[in-house]
Structures are given as structure tokens and as C-alpha cells.
Amino acid sequence: MFADLHLHTNFSDGTYTPEELVGHARRCQFSAIALTDHDTVEGCARAAAACVAAGIEFIPGSELTTEHGGNELHLLAYFVDTAHPRLLRETATFQAIRQNRIREMVARLNDLGIPLDANAVFRLANCQSPGRPHVARALVQATICSSLDEAFERFLKKGRPGWVPKTRMSAVDAIALIHEAGGLAVMAHPGLNRTDDVIPDLVAAGLDGIECFHTKHTTRIAERYLMMADKHHLLVTGGSDCHGMSKGRPLIGTVKLPYTHVQELKLRVSQKKSSTTNGPH
Ligand code: AMP
Ligand code: ZN
Ligand code: FE
Ligand code: FE
């Protein structure tokens, strides 16, 4: 039995609908999946319904864009209450920031003489949580760039002329928010950040787990973070970070997390729930 705990849909910058994603999960024979769209939980209701129909266990989640010490880091939230009022308020704030950032990026491109319309990006994104991949797709659609990579290389990568920095939630606040919403906080793809020195701070703030298995982690990197998990008593997670067809090929199925890790996550959630209902000692 295997799980994929890092998946995106068209509720952020993935290309699959929740139903299409669950169809792929069924074909890959996953026992459990989590949906982790950027700064939103909106796709979870549809993914949950599709999972019921497909006989797959569903874990509601999100990937929150956060920062610590000036470094961007992504926090995966698992088992959160998707109707939690403060979680919805905070994610709505960051969705508005994302939308304003799209307008700013398009304005910068317009200043360079590139005739892109922000509304074309929003139409294409058709979601509350748009990001740079949508701008890249709009640039390709308008035949200004011939590929998404070219769009990032020429305009959208950090430091390029169309790039705009993003206001992010503090990682420590995000961990507290995830806990308040009944969830577990997990550091996403640490091997891509190269900021391991933040891990002790996050552990002190209540970090629950670390994503050891990820498409872009080599076996060596996975082993490095398994040791880190052991050292800090963190839960171990993993997922493909599949964005549908937006990154060339669908990644779902390339990372298979043994289901025992899901059982450990569930055990931790239930322990936390019983400790809060029983009060402090
Ligand atoms: P944003 O959240 O708006 O900053 O956009 C980040 C997203 O852009 C992430 O999903 C990245 O994987 C994606 N991204 C970054 N660089 C590239 C690239 N060269 N080609 C395609 N997608 C990229
Ligand atoms: Zn993404
Ligand atoms: Fe990420
Ligand atoms: Fe992701």
C-alpha cells in the first residue's frame, strides 16, 4: 500500500481537475492521497468526493508559502479542517496577494513592451491562487515565449525583469495556524531549499514532519532527511509534487510513500486531538 502526499490541481498551478487527479491516483493504485494546492484548500471537497467514489483514502491539505529568516519555504498542511474560519481568512489574504502580484508582474512585462493582458492570465488561471506558472502559460499562449522554461528564464525567475517578490506568511505563524486548524505541519522538499539551518527553529515552533521523499530528492538527499527526521523526532512524508501536464510529464506515480507513514500521521493527529480535548494534563 502506497500514498502520494504532495499533489496540485487547477485550484492552484496544476493542470488536472481534482477528478482527473484522482483518476490518475486510481490508475497508479494509490491507497491514499493528499491534495496540497498552493495557499488554498478549495479543491479538497471535490477531491474528497472523487476519492470516495474511487475507494481512495483522502487527506485534506495545502502547501503554504512561508518564510523564515528571509528564505522562502513551503509548509505542507495535512488533516486541516477545510472550513476552519481563520485558515480560510489567512489563505484568502495570500490569494489576494498572489492576484496583485500577477498584476504587478504583467505591468513590469508591459513596461518592457510585452503586450500581455492581466485578464488573459486570470482567465487562463481560472482560480483564486494564481502563480508564475500561469503567467508563463499566458506568455506561451500569446506566442511571446516558446516554452514555460523560456518564460521563466527570460522573465519570471528571481531577479529577471518580470519577477516580483511575494509577501509571505512567517513559517512560525503558519505552523501555529495549521495546528489551530487541527492539522500537522510538514516542511516541503527541504532538499530544494538548502536551508537546513532553519530546521531546529521550525522544530521549536512545533513542526510535525519533513518531506523526505520528493521527485527532486535523490536517494542520498532522502537519506539525509530521514536521518534529520530521526534526530528531531519528525514524521516522514513524501509525494511527487505532480502539477499535471504543466511540467512536461505527469509526476504522479513516481514517488510511492509506504502507507505506514500515513498511519503514523493519523496516529499523531488523533493523539493531538485527544490531548486538546482532555485539556493540559
Ligand atoms: P509562485 O508560487 O508564483 O512563485 O510560482 C512558483 C511555481 O513556479 C512553483 O510551482 C515552481 O515549481 C514553478 N516554477 C519555478 N521555476 C519554473 C520553471 N523554470 N519552469 C516551470 N515552472 C517553474
Ligand atoms: Zn506549484
Ligand atoms: Fe513547493
Ligand atoms: Fe508543490
Ligand 1 pocket residue status of 152, Cβ below 6 Å: yes
Confidence grade of residue 194 (pLDDT, cut at 50, 70, 90): confident
pLDDT for res 279: 60
Ligand 1 pocket residue status of 94, Cβ below 6 Å: no
**Which residue minimizes the CA distance to atom 3 of ligand 1?**
131
Mean pLDDT in residue range 66-74: 94
Give the model confidence (pLDDT) of 125-149 as tens digits. Answer: 999 999 999 999 999 999 999 999 9
Mean pLDDT in residue range 20-28: 98
User: Could you tell me the distance, in angstroms and rounded to a whole number, from the CA of residue 266 to the centre of ligand 1?
Assistant: 31
pLDDT for res 193: 87
Q: Measure the N-to-C terminal CA separation of the chain; round to a whole number of Å.
A: 36
User: Could you tell me the distance, in angstroms and rounded to a whole number, from the CA of residue 128 to the centre of ligand 2?
Assistant: 14
Confidence grade of residue 4 (pLDDT, cut at 50, 70, 90): very high
User: Bigger pLDDT: 273 or 151?
Assistant: 151
Pure H helices in the chain: 18-27, 44-54, 85-111, 118-125, 132-141, 148-151, 171-180, 190-193, 199-204, 219-232, 260-277
Neighbours of ion ligand 3 (CB under 5 A): 74, 188
Query: Do 47 and 24 touch, CB atoms closer than 8 A?
Result: no
Give the model confidence (pLDDT) of 226-239 as tens digits. Answer: 999 999 999 999 99
Query: Do 257 and 213 touch, CB atoms closer than 8 A?
Result: yes
User: Could you tell me the distance, in angstroms and rounded to a whole number, from the CA of residue 74 to the centre of ligand 3?
Assistant: 5
Task: Please state, in angstroms and rounded to a whole number, the distance separating the CA atoms of residues 243 and 191.
Answer: 19
Q: Which three cell numbers stand for residue 203?
A: 522544530
Check: pTM over 0.85? Answer yes or no. Answer: yes
User: Could you tell me the distance, in angstroms and rounded to a whole number, from the CA of residue 133 to the centre of ligand 1?
Assistant: 6
